[in-house]
Amino acid sequence: MIYLQLFLEFFQTGLFSVGGGYATLPFIQKMMERYPYWFGSLTLADITAIAEATPGPVGVNAATFAGYSAGGILGALVASFALVLPSFVIVSLVARALEKNRQSPLIGTLLSTLRPAVTGLIAAAAWTVIRAALFTAPIMEGFWQAIEWQNIVLYAVLLGLLFVPKIKKVHPVFFFLAGGIAGVVMGLF
Amino acid sequence: MKNFWALYVSFLKIGSLMFGSGYTMLPLLTHEIVEHRGWITQEELADAFALSQCVPGVIAVNTAAFIGQKRGGWGGAAAAILGVMTAPIICILLVATVLMQLWNNPVMIDAFNGVRVAVAAVITSAVISLIRSNVRNWIGIALCVAGFVIIAFLHLSPVFVVLLAVVVGFVLWGIRR
């Protein structure tokens, strides 16, 4: 029963992958060992690249892809919804509990310490994104060799624009589009 | 019903425009949910993000569920989750069925190189505004730095960052009482 298998595998992934970002990838890796035919000839790096290049969270992308390869469109839907079912229940319960107790001094203090800590955590994840975009090789192998100068210039220009009051209100998608066009132009040289 | 529809549409937009990890949705969330809709404040968004880290699941979906639940209860959470998933599912189905050949096309590779740089720039500016609104005192600075170091240099799970913040929170609460 392929649909039941898909449901159980991705429900488990949704239930146990904490921390987001690429937290679902180790689970996908395990699945690839257990059910190789779900992913065809693709490797984990291929799955990550496809997930990166298509809209949406990596976990959902991977689930849809595996579900489709294993069981067609219905398989894709089963896998994707199995993945988010634990989030739906758990987050809803926590959000309700939090709203009820927002006034309590304990919750207030906890939120005041959580906010800066999570800011640091997000900054670390951002650093990973920035590094992947601006450096080709691992930095260990030589900082100056690893730098993609064209990308650094593009990054500096875009970041500079994001500090101009009128421009920074523009929807982020226009920056992505500009980046894509600049990427194609830079590829010509 | 109108409320559910608005939630669905907002998260449909966010789901179609985010790439890669859940962190890339942050600037989109700020733009759509905080600035455009005014549904929650920047601070509450940080809370939703904090909470989404420490419970299981995909961060983007968790954040959608959190904001949806806050705006419209169980139906709101369902609408937001459906919204954030619609575009990714359709896109992956397209990729899996027809676009697989386009994948190694050099123009696509160049374009996505540029998109990644733009995502990096947008996320940098999002983090800067997040630091401005969330890091307000010495304890905040220490926690923020600790969170960065734990993930970027020690490569530990985000769970440890959340646990550290909770322990410090309990100690502060104990002292103030």
Q: Write the pLDDT tens digit of every residue in A2-31.
A: 899 999 999 988 887 765 556 677 778 778
Cα B30–chain centre separation: 10
Percent of chain A exceeding pLDDT 70 equals: 86
Residue B14 structure tokens: 């966010």
CB atoms inside a 10 Å sphere around CB B75:
15
Mean pLDDT of A135-143: 60
Which chain A residues touch B115 with a CB distance below 8 Å? Answer: 176, 179-180, 183
Any idea which of A52-56, A72-76, B34-38 has the lowest mean pLDDT? A52-56
With a cut of 80, say whether residue A49 has pLDDT above it. Answer: no
Predicted ipTM > 0.90: no
Per-residue pLDDT, B89: 93
Show the low-confidence residues of chain B (pLDDT under 50): none
User: Residue B61 falls within a domain, yes or no?
Assistant: yes
CA distance A18 to A91: 12
> Mean pLDDT for chain A?
82
Question: CA–CA separation, A88 vs B64, rounded Å?
Answer: 9
Cα B21 from chain centre:
8
Report the mean per-residue pLDDT for chain B.
Answer: 86
Q: Write the pLDDT tens digit of every residue in A79-106.
A: 999 999 999 999 999 889 888 887 888 8
Write down the pLDDT at residue A161. Answer: 92
Whole-Å CA distances, B139 to A122, B134, B168: 18, 11, 9
What are the extents of the domains in chain A?
2-100, 113-187
Q: pLDDT at position B80, please? A: 96
Contacts of A125 in chain B (CB under 8 A): 21, 23, 151
Please, which residues 102-161 of chain A have a Cβ atom closer than 8 Å to chain B?
105-106, 109-130, 132-134, 151, 154-155, 158-159
* Number of structural domains found in chain B: 1
Give B49-99 as a DSSP string. Answer: HHHHHHSBS-HHHHHHHHHHHHHHHHHHHHHHHHHHHHHHHHHHHHHHHTG
β-strand partners of B56: A18
- Which of A 13-52 lie inside 8 A of B, CB atoms? 14-22, 24, 50-52
* Residues B61 and B84: beta-carbon distance below 8 Å: yes
Is A176 within 8 Å of B54 when comparing Cβ atoms?
Answer: no
Question: Residue B29: which domain range?
Answer: 2-100
Q: How far apart are CA B114 and CA A94, in angstroms?
A: 39
At A65 the pLDDT is 86
Per-residue model confidence as pLDDT tens digits over B103-127: 667 887 788 788 888 888 888 888 8
Residue of B128, B164, B32, B5 lying closest to A123 (CA atoms): B128
pLDDT at residue A143, as a whole number: 62
Alpha helices, H only, chain A: 2-16, 25-34, 44-53, 58-100, 105-134, 143-146, 149-161, 165-168, 172-187
Residue B42 has what pLDDT?
85
Distance CA B76, CA B67 (A): 8
**With bands split at pLDDT 50, 70 and 90, how would you rate the model's confidence at A40?**
confident
Residue B110 host element (H or E) = helix B106-134
Distant-in-sequence, close-in-space partners of A149: CB < 8 Å, separation ≥ 6: none
Does some domain include residue B151? no
Quick one: pLDDT at residue B148? 92
Q: Report if residue B32 sits inside a domain.
A: yes
Q: A57–B152: do the CB atoms touch at under 8 Å? A: no
Using the predicted structure, report yes or no on whether residue A138 has a pLDDT greater than 60: no
